[in-house]
């Protein structure tokens, strides 16, 4: 199978290194990153130790394309990848947040398979990724194309990346967005690992209120969440990732743009469109954008 990984950050790097021994695989990324990958390959350290040399000159049509860019780059990536897909190409999105849902559905229709993941990884060098956990990737087709879901799950499992098929993938994607919305901005603004939130009652209260708003937004949008007690699950993720410094915290520390617009910002807009008060999520959205040095839209 011909596979293209769009984006060579933490998740993209892991996907490229894990899938390349099994498939004809190329990586599409910014020119400087591609030159380093061509010279050095991609190295994973931690839960898996390996170095692989994927192709760095995408060409022709691919059977499967993973969009592993930052969430705010999905529109640009979806336009650039048109040269590499046709009506049978499966488009796989492990993106954070909610904005990619409408973007990809509009451009690629029933070819899209969503793949929210708990894979834990961080870039620690130009071509090196630390993998703390392979986690679980849940895959599903929003349009009900079970055969495409099965094909993506098989590709991931064959590569050693545990995956499960879901017949409620929208509930899974929203649930992950809610978890991210309740943990990432608070940990980022406080400058702490995820687990410390459990020890600081004022911060945990903010997370609980953000969760309550987000759940109300989901219900008003007709989404059946995959967890009956959403905040209990948020706290479980805090515990299971207690040592993690979330990507939003890493982005703020390194002066990079975060994915706050695509996570809390998108929840705010969807909730307010249904007349759900979203004051806590709007406040988190505002504060993280201010910390980035960006004005609110």
Q: What is the pLDDT of residues 42-85, one digit of tens each?
A: 999 999 999 999 999 999 999 999 999 999 999 999 999 999 99
Class (C level, CATH) for 2-165: alpha beta
Query: Could you give phi then psi for residue 38, rounded to 5 degrees?
Result: -60, -40
Helix (H) or strand (E) holding 138: strand 137-139
Checking if the pLDDT of 280 tops 90, the result is: yes
Domain with CATH 1.10.1040.10 in the chain: 169-292
CA dihedral 184, 189, 193, 197 (to 10 degrees): -80
User: Own/partner pairs for 271-277, CB < 8 Å, 24+ apart?
Assistant: 271/213, 271/214, 271/216, 271/217, 271/220, 274/217, 274/220, 274/221, 275/220, 276/213, 276/216, 276/217, 276/220, 277/213
Active site residue 70: no
Contact 265, 287 (CB under 8 A): no
Tokens matching residue 55: 């192709």
Taking only the tens place, the pLDDT of each residue in 167-225 is 999 999 999 999 999 999 999 999 999 999 999 999 999 999 999 999 999 999 999 99
Nearest to 170 by CA among 141, 149, 208: 141
pTM beyond 0.75: yes
* Active-site hit among 176, 201, 235, 270: 176
CATH pick for 169-292 out of 3.40.50.300, 2.40.50.140, 1.10.340.30, 1.10.1040.10: 1.10.1040.10
């Amino acid at each position: 199978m011909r596979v293209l990984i769009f984006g060579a950050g933490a998740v993209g790097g892991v996907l490229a290194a894990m899938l390349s021994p099994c498939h004809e695989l190329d990586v599409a990324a910014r020119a400087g990153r591609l030159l380093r990958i061509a010279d050095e390959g991609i190295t994973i350290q931690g839960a898996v130790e390996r170095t692989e040399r994927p192709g760095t000159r995408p060409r022709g049509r691919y059977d499967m394309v993973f969009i592993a860019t930052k969430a705010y780059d999905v529109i640009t990536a979806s336009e650039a990848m048109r040269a590499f897909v046709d009506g049978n190409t499966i488009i796989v999105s492990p993106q954070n947040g909610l904005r990619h849902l409408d973007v990809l559905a509009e451009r690629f229709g029933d070819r899209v398979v969503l793949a929210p993941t708990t894979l834990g990884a961080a870039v620690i060098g130009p071509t090196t990724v630390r993998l703390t956990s392979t986690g679980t990737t849940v895959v599903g087709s929003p349009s009900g194309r079970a055969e495409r879901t099965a094909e993506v799950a098989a590709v991931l499992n064959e590569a050693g990346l545990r995956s499960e098929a879901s017949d409620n993938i929208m509930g899974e994607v929203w649930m992950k967005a809610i978890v991210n919305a309740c943990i990432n901005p608070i940990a980022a603004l406080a400058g702490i690992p995820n687990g410390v939130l459990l020890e600081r009652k004022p911060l945990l209260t903010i997370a609980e209120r953000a969760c309550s708003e987000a759940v109300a937004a989901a219900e008003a949008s007709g989404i059946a969440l995959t967890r009956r007690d959403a905040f209990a699950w948020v706290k479980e993720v805090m515990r299971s990732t207690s040592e993690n410094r979330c990507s939003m915290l890493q982005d703020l520390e390194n002066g990079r743009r975060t994915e706050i617009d695509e996570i809390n910002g998108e929840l705010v807009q969807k909730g307010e469109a249904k007349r759900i008060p979203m004051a806590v999520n709007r406040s988190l959205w505002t504060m993280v954008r201010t910390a980035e040095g960006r004005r609110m839209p």
